[in-house]
Structure 1
Amino acid sequence: MKKNQRRWIGVVAGIAALILIAGLCLHFFAGDKGPQYLTAKVGRTNLENAVIATGTLQAFRQVDVGAQVSGQLKSLKVKLGDKVTKNQWLAEIDPVISENALRQAEANEQNLVAQKRSAAAQLVQAELAFKRQQQMLPDDSTSRQDYETAQANLGVQRASIASFDAQIRAARIQIETAQANLGYTRIVAPMDGEVVAIVTQEGQTVIAQQQAPVILKLADLDTMTVKAQVSEADVIRIHPGQTAYFTILGEADKRYYGKLRAVEPAPQNFADSQSSLGGIGGGSSKPNAAVFYNALFEVPNPGHLLRISMTAQVNVLLGTASNALNIPVAALGDKNKDGTYPVRVLDRDNQVDTRKVRTGINNNVNVEVLSGLKEGERVIIGEGSDMAGAGAGATASDVVN
């Protein structure tokens, strides 16, 4: 009995071992399943091809309000952030020196006018004396010398009057200059705008002999200028009139659109670099220095949300497509001579078919499909083994056996 039980247990163990061996053989020695492909569906989305640049915001109109006369800044009538209108009183330079200069100029004119009156009286006397000499000369009642002396004296007096006339005109010019300088002590706004900087404080003395010192800065913030720094590799692809937009750090989801107004022909630091080199051809530039060109466009700023010197992430649009049929760029093969690209398509039976596809806008991530594919088809973007070390796989793709 015990022998039968042992025999039965041995048979069962043998069968189990055979089943285990068969399973392992099926697992390790099964036929080839075929290659695994990483695929993506042909879908639709909005595409854009753009030159990307970093820029800064500036006021479209900004003025440095300066002083044209020297003196102490007696008072400031505005503070930082105030909105002002054209011809509004902004500041005052101490007017005492200018007032004294005006009074001195007026006194000089009055002195010259009085001297002219005296010269005019002497002219009348010289004219009468010369007339008497003219009447007496034919009768030999006077000498030729006295006649000539009276004639010369008359000429001197006339010249003196002409000299005083010229001096009076010069004095009146000095009065007008003094009046203008006195007016310059009252500094007014040259335009509507907002006070964006105060450079000189009350009590400081400004010297305006060589250049006009800046008192404050005014800017019109209703319109902002974007100065985008475009690399030399991309600048050849942009031109005035193209649509551009930007976002700011504090509101990354909102786009501000405008049209390129200009692309500056020289790099942004061209003037400084040339002066440091002693003029064009005066030295060698740095061969490894990055070169950027400024592209300019304006955007409205009605709520003054945009501020001076904000950083802007700028996109200059080279092309756009709405609801475009598209595939990942990784699906494209090498370009054919006829301008098409080979694309491998996986059909429902997991069979690979190579198509010739014509493309449109390419933003280096996705590419527009103009012909050769239909929506919903699956294109091969890589082998499954290529993604072995890349984690669980991309959300927009499938691994297909």
Structure 2
Amino acid sequence: MKVSESMISQLETGKNNFSKDKIIVYTNICGCSFNFNINRRDIIEKLIDVYKIYSELKIEKFNNAISNLKKIPDIAFSSARFEYYLILYMDNIVNKNISNVEFIEKMIEIGINSFTNNELAIYYDMQGLKYIYSKNSIKAVKFLEKSISFNSNFLMNNYHYCTIFLNLGYYNLAQIFINKSLKIALEDVMIERLFHLLLNQASLYINTLQYQEADRINLKLLEESYVRNDLFLRYCVLSNLTLSSLLKKDFNDGFVYIGMIDQKYLNDDYDLILYQIMLYFFSNDYISTKNHIRKALGNTSISSYYKNFFQGIKYLMDNKFIKAIDRIERCYDLALSDGEVDRAILDLKLLNELYLDHGLQNKLKKVKELQEKFYKMSYANQIIEDIGLKLN
């Protein structure tokens, strides 16, 4: 080509534009042809449109749009080659093909300096989503911070933020991002995403013991799910209503909502199975409790946490309290190791009752120390939330 190696690098990374003749020579050497007819700006606009389709939860339309973009002839050998890899990245992350993204990330990083702010916001949001799927909240937040710094008006980076803070129990911060996401969803008329944001709002109300507000939203959404014949929305709403009933100790309502949930979802959702088992357990229907535990334990996909928890409940009904305590203690350790602080606190409350009932003073003392530790953590979290409020 009669140019320096550094010039080749600048061409590859998009930092410099070569003459048409030089590009033809370069692509011929590589055994391919360059598509000069592709307008990079057009591809960027289409890429942003596809991201907005994903924001609206129109997954089938999203997949069709992605497929059409990938079919553009020689898009991988054009001025939009890095947009092509970002398209592949979105496709794999949204459809949870996480094992395929390492190579794509390396290709994107080569040309990342050529990206617009909107493209950077999309890329880092997708990276955040990848870590949300793997339940690594710390890394997810790191990339979401980058995403929102390049475009704070994209719905999804705000939505992913509120999801993480809701799961971590930082409810003040979660509320901030729910409010912002709701505003964007309303302005952009993203109805499907709006429903899921309202579900998040209802979950926040449940976690902050505002059951009346939670039920008001959930019942409205339940009506809408029947109007739209949306099974997934209906399932999510009924899960929320069931949890609310369980926490309020309103077992009659809990059984009503459990009975309304489509079985094809119930079989795969162990949180919902746990609610169902606890409803029967607290209402002293031990036969039904044992039947559902037996069915759950028969599923080979059950995790160690649920397996130990269900076995612990079974031992309680069989008056084998030491074995029950051992199982719940294992659950507590598993929850902590997975960073599931809320779940660990729930296990700790149950252990507190068991130690108290059976005169295990040494262990009871240990629980009191752990509860004090969690209280301090909660106080520290409140300070973090207050700082977040001031920053926002």
User: What is the TM-score when the length of structure 1 is the normalising length?
Assistant: 0.16
Relative contact order, higher structure (CA 8 A, sep 6+): 1
- More helix per residue: 1 or 2? 2
User: What is the TM-score when the length of structure 2 is the normalising length?
Assistant: 0.16
Larger Rg: 1
